[in-house]
Amino acid sequence: MQTTATDSFAASVNQRMKYMQLVDHINGLIESDKLHIGDRLPSLKQFEKELGMSKETLLKGLNHLLEKGIIESVYRKGYYVKKKSVDHTYRVFLLLDKMNIMRDRFYHTLFDQLKDVADVDVYFHHHNLKVFENLIRENLNSYTHFVIATFLKEDPAAVLNLIPPQKRIIIDYNQPHLQGEYSCIFQDFEHDIYDGLNQLRKQLANYKKLILIAPTAATHAHHVLDGFQRFCTEHQFCYAIEHEVEARSFRKGNAYITFSRYDTDDVALIKLARSKGYQLGKDIGLISYNDTAVKEVLEDGITVISTDFEAMGKAVSRAIINRETIVARNPTQVIVRRSL
C-alpha cells in the first residue's frame, strides 16, 4: 500500500511523541528524586525492555536531554544526570576568540534578548585551533545552537562542518568553505573601510598621506588592506601600509587608520603627536576601528569606523528565537570627532 504525505506526517508526530515520552520519563525520575545529579541512567537495553521503544527512538530522546544539558554522555560508560530540568527552550554554546569591550557588548545584548528562553554558556579559544576544535567536539551533542567567532590563522571549516547547519551561527567573520544553510552575521571588512573612508573624503583631503597600521597577526587584515588600497587608488590619495607605528616615518600631515586588537596603536600615535607638539585633527589625523566610551572622550574624541555589536547580538537572537536562517552584513557606522 502506498504511503501518503498524511501518513508520513502522522508517523513523524507519533515518533516525536514516543521520544518525548522518554524525556518526560527521565525528567520525572529526576524530579521525584529517584535519580540524582551524578547518577547513571539505565542502559539502552534496560530502557528498550522497560518502555518498549526502539533504539532509534531512545537515542532521539537522550539527544534531546543532552541538548538541554539535563544529562551528559561519558565515553564507554553511559549517560549521567547533569542537572534538573529547566523551562528554557534553548541551550546556546557561545564560542568567542577573546573578551573585550566589543565582545562584551555583543554578549550582554545576546544574553538580554535570550534570558527568558535560553541558557547561554560562554567559551574562549584565544585563536588556538586545537582549543577551538576540542571545545566544539566535546560539546557537539549538548546544545541546540552554536554561536561562533572564528578569527583563526588556520581554516576551521572542517571542525565547523561537524555542527549541523541549522544549529550553526557564525558571527563577525564570514568564514569560507562551510556546508549547508546556516546563519552568519558578519562584518564585510573590505567594504566597511572602503565605504567609511568614502564618507570621510572631505576631512581626509586635508592630509598629505594616508597610513594604514595593519598588524600582521590580524586574521582579517588582507580584507581591510584591499578596501584601503582600492579607496586610495580610486581617489588618488598618497598612501602607505605599516605593520606597527613607526616613529621614524611619523610626519605632520599624515592621517592614520588603526585597527589593533587592544588600541595600542592609538596610544602610540597620540604619544608621538604630543612629543612633537602636533595637534590631533589638525597636524595629524586619526581614524580608529570600533567605538568605545574611551574613544568618545580621548583627545576630545577619536573618529571611528564602528560595527554595531548590539545589532549583531539582536540578529543572532532573532535567528534562534524565530528558528530562521539569517545571512546578513552587520551594519557599520562612521562617527566623526575631533581627531580628523
Average pLDDT for 177-199? 96
According to the model, what pLDDT value does residue 15 have? 52
Predicted model pTM: 0.76
Quick one: cell of 94? 557561545
329 or 67, greater pLDDT:
329
If phi over 0 gives left and psi between -120 and 50 gives alpha, with beta otherwise, what is residue 323?
left
Query: Going by C-beta distance under 8 Å and a sequence separation of 6 or more, which residues neighbour residue 196?
Result: 287, 305, 332, 334
Output Rg (C-alpha) for the chain, integer angstroms.
26
Q: What is the rounded CA–CA span in Å between residue 282 and residue 286?
A: 10
Q: How far is CA 71 from CA 24, 103, 144, in A?
A: 13, 30, 14
CA distance 216 to 202: 30
Is 123's pLDDT higher than 90? yes
Amino acid 261: pLDDT: 67
Average pLDDT for 75-96: 86
Contact present, 210 and 227 (Cβ < 8 Å): no
pLDDT at position 116 is: 84
pLDDT of 188 over the 70 cut: yes
Q: What is the DSSP letter of 146?
A: E
| pLDDT of amino acid 235 | 97
- The tens digit of pLDDT for each residue in 271-325 reads 999 999 999 999 999 999 999 989 999 999 999 999 999 999 999 999 999 999 9
Residue labelled with grid coordinates 551561527:
169
Structural contact between residues 40 and 33, judged by C-beta atoms closer than 8 angstroms: no
Q: DSSP string covering 195-260, please?
A: HHHHHTHHHHTTSSEEEEE--TT-TTHHHHHHHHHHHHHHTT--EEEESS--GGG--TTEEEEE--
- 45 against 14, higher pLDDT: 45
The residues with which 169 forms a beta bridge, in sequence order, are 147, 183
Contacts of 205 (CB under 8 A, 6+ apart): none
* % of the chain exceeding 70 in pLDDT: 94
Concatenated DSSP letters of 279-316:
PBTTTBEEEEES--HHHHHGGG--EEEEE-HHHHHHHH
CA distance 11 to 17: 10
What is the edge-to-edge ordering of all strands in the sheet holding 183-186? 118-124, 90-96, 145-149, 168-172, 183-186, 327-329
Best-predicted range by mean pLDDT (4-18, 86-100, 102-116): 102-116
Distances (CA, A) of 236 to 130, 204, 208, 257, 315: 44, 12, 11, 17, 37
CA atoms within 13 A on the CB side of 216: 3
The per-residue pLDDT of the chain, averaged, comes to: 90
Q: Does residue 16 register a pLDDT over 80? A: no
Q: What is the pLDDT of residue 83?
A: 83
Predicted confidence at residue 133, as pLDDT, reads: 96
Q: Which residues pair with 79 in a beta bridge?
A: 73
Query: pLDDT at residue 1 above 90?
Result: no
pLDDT score, position 10? 47
pLDDT tens column, 155-182: 999 999 999 999 999 999 999 999 999 9
Question: 269 falls in which pLDDT band (50, 70, 90)?
Answer: very high
Please write the tens of the pLDDT for every residue from 106-116.
999 999 999 88
pLDDT at residue number 13: 42
- Tell whether the model's pLDDT for residue 100 goes beyond 80: yes
